[in-house]
């Protein structure tokens, strides 16, 4: 957890003191464990804790009644609205039916709903259409007395690449124009936030007064382009290691075939280790026969198909290997490291998925 705290401090230093930071801890804090991450980030001063849903908000509220402000980025079912408003949890307002629903719930609770109005500036996922945003914001401000517009926000479609820079700049322009217009009309909104991790790093003009940082606080750059451009400017380190131990060892002769479907044939006499980790634990089956792990400082190939709760590894190159030896799936042993970026590339996906898919049933051990 100390690494996450240091990462946040490094990001704060980079973006400057005028910009507040919201920690995105959705999806079990990107696989890191939401409760312990909240405990850590709350010690270094974040303005909001951004979650996916009511379940995550509830878990945080039970453990940390006086925690930082919670903002639910996704939708909230009508039966959960009263709890959200009573507990002062912030709501994302992103469609035209929300004001009426939120207003009724607020009247029942005797408390104003605090909302962050999401504007669709080009992501085309959630949000009020940018062309209608000023009208909608004005209507809510004037007609819904039980709704407090605490923030307005949007989301970049691709702020982490060189190829779509023009599109990103168009999103910034749309959002800026909306902010300028509502302020010209006398509507003051406390928080304006557009940037995710990549945007916060790569587009200083789009930071406004709050940025939502997710993957970067866990020490992973949001794209290879951002990593190459900024890794020497922002000192962040991966916070998570994924480890297991050898549960079985056996010597097999050349020509033997390994695992389901007999998908791998040994090219020489080999020592094969079995690890108690598989796709049920979030380790991708597509890494069969192409992934690697680290044993005693050496990279060892995965052989055969990854099973639901087990995988086989060729440890022939490791001297004095034995049962219960530690095996690193993500992380490092000295100078030898396997990072989420590398695994993602082999799986034709992104580092976000590699981290988020680690099952909650996998035990976590936290270090300060």
* Burial of 86 (C-beta count, 10 Å sphere; 0-12/13-18/19+): middle
Going by C-alpha positions, the residue among 196, 243, 186 that lies closest to residue 362 is 243
Question: Which one from 139, 237, 260, 322 is the annotated catalytic residue?
Answer: 260
The two three-digit tokens of residue 354, written as one number: 């590699």
| Strand-pair category, 248-252 with 270-275 | antiparallel
CA torsion angle 326 307 365 247 (round to 10): -40
Annotated catalytic residue 26: yes
DSSP conformation letters of 331-349: EEETTEEE-HHHHHHHHTS
Question: Is 260 designated active site?
Answer: yes
Binding residue per annotation — 308? yes
Q: Do residues 359 and 281 lie in contact, with contact meaning Cβ atoms separated by under 8 Å?
A: yes
- Cα–Cα dist 248/204, whole Å: 52
Annotated active-site residue in 26, 114, 174, 192 = 26
Burial class (CB in 10 A: 0-12, 13-18, 19+), 295: buried
Burial of 83 from C-beta contacts in 10 A (0-12 / 13-18 / 19+): middle
| DSSP H or E stretch at residue 44 | none
Give Cα 274 distance to the centre of its chain: 30
Please check if 125 is assigned to a binding site: yes
Strands annotated E in 128-223: 128-129, 147-153, 191-193, 210-213
Q: How far is 196 from 22, CA to CA, in rounded Å?
A: 10
Closest to 51 in 3D by CA, of 40, 43, 37? 37
Binding-site residues from annotation: 125, 308
Binding-site residues from annotation for substrate: 125, 308
| Residues with catalytic roles | 26, 260
């Amino acid at each position: 957890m100390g690494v996450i705290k240091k990462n946040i401090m490094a990001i704060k230093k980079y973006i400057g003191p005028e910009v507040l930071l919201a920690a995105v801890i959705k999806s079990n804090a990107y696989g890191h464990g939401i409760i312990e991450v909240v405990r850590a980030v709350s010690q270094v001063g974040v303005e909001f804790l951004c979650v996916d849903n009511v379940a995550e908000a509830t878990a945080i509220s039970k453990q940390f009644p006086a925690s930082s402000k919670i903002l639910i980025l996704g939708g909230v079912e009508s039966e959960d609205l009263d709890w959200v408003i009573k507990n002062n949890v912030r709501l994302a307002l992103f469609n035209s039916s929300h004001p009426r629903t939120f207003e009724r719930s607020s009247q029942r609770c005797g408390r104003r709903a605090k909302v962050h109005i999401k504007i669709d500036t080009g992501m085309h996922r959630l949000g009020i259409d940018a062309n209608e945003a000023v009208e909608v914001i004005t209507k809510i401000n004037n007609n819904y007395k039980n709704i407090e517009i605490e923030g307005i926000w949007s989301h970049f479609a691709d702020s982490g690449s060189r190829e779509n820079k023009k599109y990103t700049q168009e999103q910034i322009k749309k959002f800026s124009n909306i902010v300028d217009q509502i302020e010209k009309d006398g509507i003051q909104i406390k928080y304006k936030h557009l940037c995710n991790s990549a945007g916060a790093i790569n587009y200083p003009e789009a930071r406004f007064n709050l940025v939502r940082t997710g993957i970067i606080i866990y020490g992973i750059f949001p794209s290879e382009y951002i990593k190459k451009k900024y890794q020497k400017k922002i000192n962040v380190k991966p916070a998570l290691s994924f480890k297991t131990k050898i549960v079985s060892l056996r010597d097999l002769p050349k020509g033997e075939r390994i695992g389901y479907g007999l998908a791998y044939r040994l090219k020489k006499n080999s020592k094969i280790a079995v690890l108690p980790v598989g796709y049920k634990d979030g380790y991708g089956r597509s890494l069969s026969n192409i992934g690697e792990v680290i044993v005693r400082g050496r990279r060892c190939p995965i052989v055969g198909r990854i099973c639901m709760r087990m995988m086989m590894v060729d440890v022939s190159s490791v001297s004095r290997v034995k049962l219960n030896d530690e095996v690193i799936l993500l992380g490092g042993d000295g100078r030898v490291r396997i990072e989420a970026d590398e695994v993602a590339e082999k799986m034709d996906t992104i580092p976000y998925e590699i981290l988020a898919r680690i099952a909650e049933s996998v035990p976590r051990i936290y270090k300060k």
